[in-house]
Amino acid sequence: MILVTGGAGFIGSNLVNHLSKSKKTQIVSVDWKNKENSDYFNCDSILKVSPKNLDNFLKKNHKSIELIIHLGAITSTVEKNVRLIVENNINLSIFLWDWCVKKKKRFIYASSAATYGNGENDFIDNDSSNYLSELLPLNVYGWSKHIVDKFVANKTKMNITPAQCVGLKFFNVYGPNENHKGEMRSIALKIYQKIKKKSEVRLFKSHNPDYKDGEQLRDFIYVKDVVDIICWFAENAKIDGLFNVGSGQPRSFKDLAKAVFKNCNAEQKIKYVNTPNNIRKQYQYFTKANIQKLRNAGFKKKFLSLEEGVTDYIRNHLNNE
């Protein structure tokens, strides 16, 4: 049995659908939105559990569960409710980690590229305590993920660890099943929806002299590639550590917009607007995942290019909704 928290979310639902194809083991989705996002699932064999029943489910099924993939979290980078973030992003992560330690189970959890802050210490998935102590996330969400990374690193240093422990630092993921995310949905989806409504497509102006408007760079990675990485770790139980999950190829927002316009057969028209003051100080102008550690561990699959990912997303998913 594989238990996926956040299983009805964006990455979670794509992962659950993929894992369910094998039919070798029972897949469990733990999510408040299991019913609300039921159209995200394409398999009837998925077992759906409410988070309020998680404790009892773990007690009753501790012998059957072999792996917990913990993706559930408050993912908004502008969330101000610290108590909510502590409960969902820190306490729950440590609880599940501790359960896996005691029951000798495997644990894969979601970290984030937000832990790198403005990138002044580079984007290296180094899990040493010294390196982690140098990172300064720019928002509460990033801090919550960083605290868990440091907790796991310190416990590993003390040789206290689950049967397998893998942390995944997700960069800018886009793809199917993100409609519920509101303002946190990807720029790719936002642009697509604007074009379909014949509304004005807007991108942020640059407030950094080193970057032109629309040429801020992000490491975009398609969700299907993310699922492949998670499943690879699930299949390689002896690999542990903290790993970046990105393409390793930063691209501009203008590149992304161009790909969406092309797949919508629409004329490229972009208006540049000021970055809101409430996020301007924490705005990242450049992210690039260093994926050498992932490659050295043995993951060899080639990632889809930004253009390939956007084409698949729009033509095989968004246009069919």
Q: How far apart are CA 242 and CA 262, in angstroms?
A: 36
Q: How far apart are CA 109 and CA 96, in angstroms?
A: 10
Q: What is the pLDDT of residue 22?
A: 86
Q: What is the pLDDT of residue 251?
A: 98
Domain membership of residue 92 (yes or no) is: yes
Domain membership of residue 105 (yes or no) is: yes
Residue 71's domain comprises 2-174+220-248+287-304
Q: How far apart are CA 238 and CA 235, in angstroms?
A: 9
Domain membership of residue 129 (yes or no) is: yes
Q: What is the pLDDT of residue 321?
A: 82
CB burial readout 236-255, b (16+ within 10 A) else e: eeebbbbbbbbbbebbbbbb
Domain membership of residue 64 (yes or no) is: yes
Domain membership of residue 79 (yes or no) is: yes
Domain total for the chain?
A: 1
Domain membership of residue 75 (yes or no) is: yes
- Residue 114: CATH number of its domain: 3.40.50.720
**Which helix (H) or strand (E) covers residue 145, if one does?**
helix 140-157
How high is the mean pLDDT in each 10-residue block of the chain (321 residues)?
98 97 93 97 94 98 98 88 94 98 98 95 96 95 97 97 98 97 96 96 96 97 98 98 98 98 96 92 91 98 98 97 82
Is 141 tagged catalytic? yes
Are 244 and 289 in contact, with CB atoms under 8 Å apart? Answer: yes
Domain membership of residue 185 (yes or no) is: no
Domain membership of residue 280 (yes or no) is: no
Catalytic residue selected from 40, 116, 141, 222: 141
pLDDT digits (tens, 9 = 90+) for 211-236: 999 999 999 999 999 999 999 999 99
Is 181 tagged catalytic? yes
Catalytic residue selected from 181, 190, 194, 262: 181
